[in-house]
Amino acid sequence: MNTQESQLCEEITEFEKDSKWFYENTDLLRKRKLSGKFVAINNKEVIASGESFDIVVEEVEHKGKNPAYVVIEYVYPEGTVVLF
């Protein structure tokens, strides 16, 4: 595996960890008054939040991060049922 492939694997692993952290800590995010907002998670920390996805993407970019490699999710209010 070359350096570029190794780095990509590391980024994917970190993305997966952040995604897992989001789902395991949704209640904590609600307690932090982030219910009904989009949040960006990087290294198990909220690095941006806002009412719209576009605003959060702009904040992530402003912090020098590529939004493609940052978990951005919506924190649904407690009791919300989402059907896919």
Q: Where are the domains of the chain?
A: 3-74
Residue 21 reports pLDDT greater than 80:
yes
- Under the banding of pLDDT at 50, 70 and 90, the label for residue 76 is very high
Determine phi and psi for 60, rounding to 5 degrees: -60, -45
- Under the banding of pLDDT at 50, 70 and 90, the label for residue 81 is confident
Confidence (pLDDT) at 1:
74
**Which residue type occupies 13?**
T
> Rounded to two decimals, what is the model's pTM?
0.89
Closest to 18 measured CA to CA, from 46, 43, 1, 35: 43
Higher pLDDT, 6 or 50: 50
